[in-house]
A and B are shown apart, each in its own frame.
Chain A
Amino acid sequence: MVMIPSFPIEFFVVALGIVLLLGDAFFTGLDKKTIAYMAIFWLGAILVGTFFLEPTPLWASTAGFYEMDGLAMVFKRFALVATILTLVVSLEYAPVVESFIPASRPGAGLGEYFILPVFTCAGLMWMASAADFVMIFCALELVTISFYIQVAYMRRSLASLEAGTKYLILGALSTGFLVYGITWIYGMTGQTGLGGISMILGMVPEASQTGLLFGIGLVLVAVGFKVAAAPFQFWVPDVYQGAPTSVTAFLSTASKAAGFVVLMRVVQTFVAAPALAAKLIPVLSLLAGLTLIYGNLAALPQTNLKRLLAYSSIAHAGYLLIGVASIGAPFAGRAVVFYLIGYLFMTFLAFLVLVPVSKATGGDDISNFNGLGRRAPTLAFALLISMLSLAGLPFTVGFLGKFFIFEAAMQQHHIVLVVLGVVTVACGFYYYLKVVRAMYWLPAPDDAPPIEVSLLTRFVAAFLVAAIVILGIFPGPVLNLLP
């Protein structure tokens, strides 16, 4: 088999982004959708290419700030898939965006809407490999800054602008925490590389431990903002609801996943020292518990599906944090990654259905889905699968994810977390089934307009349904990919 020499595939992604930007600038007559199709095609090609990389890259062992291990590889593919899915949702959502941006002629100004996710993708992929705090910081900023623009992209929508401002201010705040935390860690260990830190960790004198812990705590706060862990979650509902739906989908999956990769790398480095582990694990458990309670309870009364998905993304961050807090269990890392992959599929499926329905009915309240089971049976079925998977019903990938997480947590004797997890799962059944109820129990309004769905969306939705169900029965293929 022909192997591609392994150099950072992020270069390809950045190159793709630049080429597309230039193309957008020079070929002004081009239909902007062509840009999106090209981006999807080439990202797909790069995704396929990742399976033909040389197994032992040169860079991995030498530089120390760029890790090319199994975890990194999985998350690079994750970022690529998430970006492709985002572009598919963007294509569906483009008419709405278009109506909210000032343009001299139809379609102008949409180019960057399709190209920015490509740059975000590059940032995400770098972040997956980042093994040095400097690198982590740079990658994280590339992701966050490109998100600032995307969230506020609909310039004439007040909600989008408000979301953008909120995201900008809180994002900047969390960046401050991150830098300050990194400074403390550097000050206490003299290292920014995670490998270097873990080597020196055993030699850190007792007196410096407090400072080190302070630094780790600040980093946790920053990452907590990124993954939407309580009590750093308050930006999430408004931003998710106000942002363009495609960006919301991207933000709630890829950005969260990136946060969890960083979290896992950092936590794995520091829990190696038993003294630190004894203090870190309880903090993580506390975060997990708070996030679970807040996310699930706050989701209960929601009537807007986009906002519901925002709270549900907080709730899922809680389950993922249980997995991170159980990092000592041999399966915990894989459980978190598996959960993230499942979460990616089910969330995107929900957004894929949400966009055409809200376009047709003029809103994304749950009541806009009334009677969808009869109006658009296939769309309703797709959303049914997505909701059931989010709720954690067996034979879907969501259930297996929760199962692996709970298994790891019980192995680590996180009894309280597991009990909380089970109680909140029951909450989850309530608010996810509210959507199912609207679709199947309640009648559609008489003047309901027909719902149009593009062929690409149909195809991708069918693919996601199949992925959710098949991975829910045979997780083997994905589990084997994982480190």
Chain B
Amino acid sequence: MSPLLFLILIPIFGAAFILAGANARFTALVASVTNLLFLVVLLTRYELGGEQVYQFVSSWPIVPSMGISLTLGADGLSLVMLALTVLVTLAAVAVARTPEKNPHWFYASLLFISAGGLGAFASIDLFFFYMFHELALIPTFLLIGIWGSGDRQAAAWKATIYLALGSFVLLLGLIGLYLIQPDGMRTFDLRAISGLAKAGFLPEANWVYLLLLIGFGILVSLFPFHTWAPQAYASAPAPAAMLHAGVLKKFGLYGLIRIAAPILPASVLEFSNLLLVLLIGNILYVGYVTISQRKLDLMLGYSSVMHMGYIFLGFAALNILSLTGACLMLFAHGLSIAALFALSGEIRERTGTLDFSELGGLAKPMPAFGLLFGFAAFAAIGLPGFVGFAGELLVFFGSFVGGDLLMGITETGKEIFQLNNFQIATICAVWGVVISAIYMLRAYRRVFFGPVADRWAALPEISGAPRIAVAALIVVMLVTGFFPGLLIKLIESASIWS
């Protein structure tokens, strides 16, 4: 039996115990620590370059006549995403403050979100890949609606309905992918579908790709379907925002890289111009919107939308460099946004506001807090030394050589120098780095530097579990930033390279 099943079941059983009355925080911590240790063991047991691309595979038939089975398995990319999930889960549970209202449901919801992410990343069968992701929808609705802040009800409704709509569009895309397979061989098994695609049995199916792109796009907050995200993340309690922005939102891009890239590459290229326009919308338009934010939580929400643009760029260019970069960025952004949301939640706990105009000079009473925030902000910008830098670099290099190059010497000996759409998009995207530097540094300055107001002069320093959790996230980003080879080796062994 696949050990991955336990990885999924541990948080589910944890949640069940909590709902049955066990100590909520303690059980949640135990479940997430167990999962982290379990994953470390899995990573050591994973054979890099082994014969099987997917390892730890086991399969239970569910509807044999339709080729649906619960098939779990992991390749390098899945393991990277699983590692991201367990890390962020542990950090989210660690920074969570036990609410007075319904603490059991609070922690159970967090664990359910985690289980949904783990299940999605560990599924080879597309049907369950989809189902597990949906497991997180209702916990998110409850988390934002019950324990959120600000205009939480509107945010929760909007996000839930957007996500429900997106996931049903995605479902149509997956059904489409199922129906274009030749009759009699139809299946939801990703390995079999990739095999069919490689053997040339799949017809060109642009409509399937478009459904997948819109479905996944809504889930990842691709421009112009992004409006649910900033509000939801701003209103959500910090652990929920960490898990959703850090882990769940990666599901859509993971799906595109995992499904569309190897199975429908022709369609991806055909619609690359459309995607380029949209992702530039993510980077530049949402980037400018981010600059104009006056509150830290909304700014982080928008910035998380904006950063998805880079990963989309890596996906659109569809070459080894750019896809590897995109996978790295999935990991990097998940950790950095989780750290930032954790810290902004801590600020809200202390001050009750995240408005830039009311904050300032917080580094004076809380120097360690300021240091951690600085690191997290730098990581989000993608400063060298953090894993985000490696990811962005690979994405930019990869996308700059994407598409048909229009540079060089023609047969008639004429020299031409013209930028193709990918290169133009890359140039715009590099500007995005400047934009994110502007808003991140400005937020850093507004919140932590300048004169400190009297009422903030005695704020308690960050300590205990939140301090350790955020520091751990930053250490992981630094280690993988200086040694990105660790991750790249894993990603290289993934099944997406056909």
Contacts and interface: CB of A to CB of B under 8 A. Distances in A.
Asked if A pairs with B, the answer is yes
A391 B172 CA distance: 16
B157 interface: yes
B66 A393 contact: no
Nearest to B147: A441
A440 B142 contact: yes
A387 to B, nearest CB: 10
Interface residues of B, number: 31
B179 A411 contact: yes
A373 B169 CA distance: 31
Contact of A440 (B105, B135, B164, B178): B105
A433 interface: yes
A473 B65 CA distance: 15
Nearest to B61: A476
Contacts, number: 79
Contact of B137 (A393, A403, A418, A479): A393
Interface string A361-402: 000000000000110000000001000100111110001000
Contacts of A473: 62
B175 A373 contact: no
Contacts of A399: 131, 134
A474 interface: yes
Given A374-B102, A433-B141, A436-B138, A403 B171 contact: yes
Given A393-B134, A423-B165, A373 B102 contact: yes
Nearest to B130: A394
A388 B153 CA distance: 18
Contacts of B179: 407, 410-411
Contacts of B142: 436, 440-441
B471 interface: no
A388 B160 CA distance: 12
A383 to B, nearest CB: 13
A429 B176 contact: no
Given A403-B171, A422-B169, A440 B131 contact: no
Nearest to B215: A422
B434 interface: no
Chain A interface extent, by class: 20 to 34
A33 interface: no
A331 B137 CA distance: 29
A430 interface: yes
B63 interface: yes
Nearest to A377: B19
B120 to A, nearest CB: 11
B62 A395 contact: no
Contact of B145 (A395, A423, A440, A476): A440
A425 interface: yes
Contacts of B65: 479
Contacts of B153: 437, 441
Nearest to A434: B157
A57 interface: no
B66 A430 contact: no
Interface in B121-151: 130-132, 134-135, 137-138, 141-142, 145-146
A96 interface: no
B161 interface: yes
B497 interface: no
A407 B127 CA distance: 12
Contacts of A429: 160-161, 164
A418 B211 CA distance: 12
Contact of B134 (A331, A394, A440, A479): A394
Nearest to B163: A429
Interface in B453-476: none
Given A410-B176, A475-B62, A426 B138 contact: no
A240 interface: no
Query: For A384, A407, A479, which residue has the most chain B Cβ atoms within 10 angstroms?
Result: A407
Nearest to A425: B168
A407 B137 contact: no
7 contacts: A388-B138, A393-B134, A394-B134, A403-B171, A426-B164, A479-B63, A479-B65
Interface of A: 331, 373-374, 384, 388, 391-395, 399, 403, 406-407, 410-411, 418, 422-423, 425-426, 429-430, 433, 436-437, 440-441, 473-476, 479
